[in-house]
Amino acid sequence: MKRSKQPNCCLAVDIGNSEIHMAPFYGQRRGAVSRLRTGLSRQQLTKKVLRLLKRKNYRLVRQAIICSVVPEKTRILEKILRRHIFEKVIVVGRDLSVPLKNRYRHPRQVGQDRLVGAFAAVELYRCPVIVIDLGTAITLDVVSHRREYLGGLIIPGLKLSTASLNRHTALLPLVEIRKPTQIIGRDTQSSILSGIFYGYGVMIDGLINLLKKQVRGQPQVIMTGGYCDLMRNFFRREVIIEHDLVLKGLNLLFHRTAQK
C-alpha cells in the first residue's frame, strides 16, 4: 500500500471498553469515523483494520495516535499499524502526556480518554469546563480556570444498568435504550426506560449543579459519548454536544507534538 508523505495527516484511534473509534484527520479536517467492537478477536480486528486502511481516505495517512483504556487492544492495534507502513505510532500516556496539570491523588489512575477529552474541551472552548462522557461508564470531569484537571466522578453507564437489571433479576427484560414516551411507565419495559432516562437525567443535572459550586468561575458543560444525543433532550440548560471529543483531542495532541 503506497502512501505519499503528508505530515499534517494522522489517524486518531480511541480504544474504549465497548468500541474502538478511528478517524483520519487532514490538518483540522476530520474524515469519516469508523467504529469497531473492542471485543473482536485479534484475527477479526486485524482483518477489519486492514480493510479500512485500504480505503482511499486513509492513503495519505502515515502517522497515528492512540488513546486507550484496554491495554491488550493497544498492543494489537499498534502492531497492526506499525506493520503496515505507519512510520510513527504515538500512544498517549506512554509516549506523551496530556498537557494539563493533573491534580488526581494518584495521577496514573486517570484514564487517558478522560484526560484527552478534558484537554480537547479546554482547547476547543475555554476553562473552567465540565466534561460529561456518556459511554460504557459515565464520567464527569472538571478542569479549573487554571487548566488544572481536578478529577471527577465515575458512574455505571446506561447500557450497563439495563444489562445488570436483566442479569440479576428473574423477570426483568433487557431493553433497548431510547427516550420513553412518558415518565410513568405503564408496563415493565416502559418503566425501565423511564427509570433509566429520567433517573440518569436528574442525577446528571444534579451533579452538574454540585460541581459548578466547586469550581471558580462559570464552567461550560461539554457532553460526549454514545448516548449524548438521547440525553441532551433532558437538559434545559446549555450543554454543548461534541460527538467525537476524544478523537478531536487526539488530533490536537498530534499537531502539538509535531510542532515541537
Residues 85-128 pLDDT 10s: 678 999 999 999 999 999 999 999 999 999 999 999 999 999 99
Residue 47 forms part of a structural domain: yes
Q: Does pLDDT of 16 surpass 90? A: yes
Please report which confidence band the pLDDT of residue 247 belongs to, taking 50, 70 and 90 as the band edges.
very high
Cell triple for 114:
478522560
Please report which confidence band the pLDDT of residue 1 belongs to, taking 50, 70 and 90 as the band edges.
very low
Eight-class DSSP state of 247: H
Residue 257 forms part of a structural domain: no
Q: Does pLDDT of 20 surpass 50? A: yes
Residues 153 and 229 in one domain: yes
Q: Does pLDDT of 236 surpass 70? A: no
Residues 34 and 113 in one domain: no
- C-alpha dihedral (66, 250, 96, 144), degrees to nearest 10: -130
Angle at 207 between CA 205 and CA 208, to 5 degrees: 65
What is the chain's mean pLDDT, rounded? Answer: 92
One-letter amino acid at 119 equals: F
Query: How many angstroms separate the CA atoms of 81 and 78, rounded?
Result: 5
Cell triple for 33:
469515523
pLDDT tens-digit readout, 150-201 = 999 999 999 999 999 999 999 999 999 999 999 999 999 999 999 999 999 9
Whether the model clears a pTM of 0.85, i.e. scores above it, the answer is yes
Residues 221 and 182 in one domain: yes
Q: Does pLDDT of 31 surpass 70? A: yes
Looking at residue 260, its pLDDT comes to 62
Which of 91, 109, 129 terminates a domain? The answer is 91
What's the domain range around 145?
A: 101-248
pLDDT tens-digit readout, 34-77 = 999 999 999 999 999 999 988 887 878 889 999 999 999 999 99
Looking at residue 185, its pLDDT comes to 95
Which of 91, 109, 139 terminates a domain? The answer is 91
CATH assignment at residue 175: 3.30.420.40
Residues 155 and 241 in one domain: yes
Considering 14, 113, 133, 141, which one is annotated as catalytic?
113
Please report which confidence band the pLDDT of residue 140 belongs to, taking 50, 70 and 90 as the band edges.
very high
Looking at residue 57, its pLDDT comes to 79
Question: Is the Cβ–Cβ distance between 20 and 77 less than 8 Å?
Answer: yes
Residue 253 forms part of a structural domain: no
Q: Write out the H or E segment, with its range, that includes residue 151.
A: strand 148-156
Residues 138 and 199 in one domain: yes
Looking at residue 83, its pLDDT comes to 87
In the residue annotation, 113 being an active-site residue is answered as yes
CA distances to 72, 91, 97, 105 from 113, in Å: 16, 12, 12, 18
Q: Does pLDDT of 3 surpass 60? A: no
- The number of domains in the chain is 2
- C-alpha dihedral (69, 71, 75, 77), degrees to nearest 10: -30
**124-150: average pLDDT:** 96
Residue 70 forms part of a structural domain: yes
Which of 91, 121, 143 terminates a domain? The answer is 91
Question: Is the Cβ–Cβ distance between 67 and 13 less than 8 Å?
Answer: yes
Cell triple for 100:
494539563
Query: How many angstroms separate the CA atoms of 228 and 237, rounded?
Result: 14
Residue 3 forms part of a structural domain: no
Residues 166 and 233 in one domain: yes
Looking at residue 19, its pLDDT comes to 95
Please report which confidence band the pLDDT of residue 2 belongs to, taking 50, 70 and 90 as the band edges.
very low
Tell whether the torsion through CA atoms of 22, 27, 32 and 33 is positive or negative.
positive
Residues 46 and 128 in one domain: no
Q: What φ, ψ does residue 137 adopt, rounded to 5°?
A: -110, 150
